[in-house]
Homo-oligomer: A and B are copies of this chain.
Amino acid sequence: MLNNKMTELLNIKYPIIQAPMAGGITTATFVAEASNCGVLGMIGAGYLSPNQLREQIREVKELTSNSFGVNLFVPSEFETSDAEINGAIKCLQPIREQLDLQAIESFEIPKFTDELETFHEQMKVVIDEKVPVCSFTFGLPSKEVIDQLRQQNIILMGTATTVKEAVENEENGMDFVVVQGSEAGGHRGTFMNTSQESLVGLMSLIPQVVDCVTIPVVAAGGIMDGRGLMASICLGARGVQMGTAFLTCIESGATDIHKEEILNSSEDQVVLTRSFSGKWARGVQNKFILQMQQHEASLPNFPVQNTLTKDIRTASSLQNNKDFLSLWSGQSPRLAKKQTVKSLIKKMIDEANTIRNQNKVGE
């Protein structure tokens, strides 16, 4: 009943993708459980080394025979300066002290060439391991990389936050485009527009993209249940990708403190910040976001700021301290539940079918 071009091409039962959330959330068990429940499980591999990625792919394969995917961050060149980095180090210092972390003595700037090399190695793992689906965030890979993946019959998905970016995805050979509304949690996938231009709500974004591309559109951002799935389909999407709804599931690898913070939040406590990584991202407001707000505009770009805050986030997590963690969440935390992946999917499909069949639509 909810079958369409998306479920067919991705070889899944329901038109739902478990969003690839980087940073330890999408463990092999969790991804495999999503796939076993009839949706597309996705490994958020942005921060994984090629070896870690290979290992995780193999674990997923052992736990499910269903389709699954891997998401990669496309590196892009970035500019920074010593002054910018020293400024960031200075304003992060009081936070380091609160966490009993030593002051940063020296800092090695991440190199774009290294990032690119890792990306190509990750890609090689995806090809070697014959991963069925590969998706991209923060841009699109080169034509060569895309051709290589297509030759292996790997289904390709890109991310877009505006119509322009969605068209770019289609023109560069993506099979699907995930449109990320302003509601979405975690990092904005924007790669061609400015941050302000790209904060488009799904009610506007989906139909405008659908009218301009021919590839199937997947909606992402604030979608938590059957209502969001059916609304996305009415707007012209083929299905949805959900992050926060999966993140608070029992099987997800998110920390308990992260899950609890989402479960206790309301939509007006979920804000945009670039203080964690240098890229804009949405999460539950905490002490770190508030304290860094005044410095936000002058912080270095991704991945520099991300590297600078890494041990702060790790220490905060180890100390079970929510204050300095990135508590990524979309704008619908009131709809988040502590439940199994199976229960999430079952309730969602039941609700979607109820809306569709009972003529609630329109009545």
Listed in ascending order, the chain A residues whose CB lies under 8 Å from chain B are: 1-4, 162-164, 181-183, 193, 196-205, 207-208, 211-212, 219, 221-225, 227-228, 230-236, 266-269, 271-272, 330-332, 334-335, 352-353, 355-356, 359-363
Residues of B within 8 A of A227 (CB): 207, 234-236
The copy count of this chain in the complex is 2
Residues of B within 8 A of A207 (CB): 224-225, 227-228, 332, 335
By the criterion CB–CB under 8 Å, are B204 and A203 in contact? Answer: no
Chain A: interface secondary structure?
A: loop
| 17 A–B contacts, CB within 8 A, in A order | A162-B268, A164-B268, A183-B200, A183-B204, A197-B268, A199-B199, A201-B222, A202-B203, A203-B203, A203-B332, A204-B267, A207-B224, A207-B228, A208-B267, A211-B334, A227-B235, A233-B361
| Beyond A181-B203, A204-B330, 18 additional pairs, beta carbon < 8 A | A2-B362, A3-B363, A183-B200, A183-B201, A193-B268, A198-B268, A200-B268, A201-B201, A201-B203, A201-B331, A204-B221, A205-B331, A211-B335, A231-B234, A231-B235, A233-B362, A234-B361, A353-B362
The complex places the Cα of A355 from the Cα of B210 at a distance, in Å, of 15
User: In chain B, what residue has the closest Cβ to A331?
Assistant: B204
The complex places the Cα of A318 from the Cα of B212 at a distance, in Å, of 36
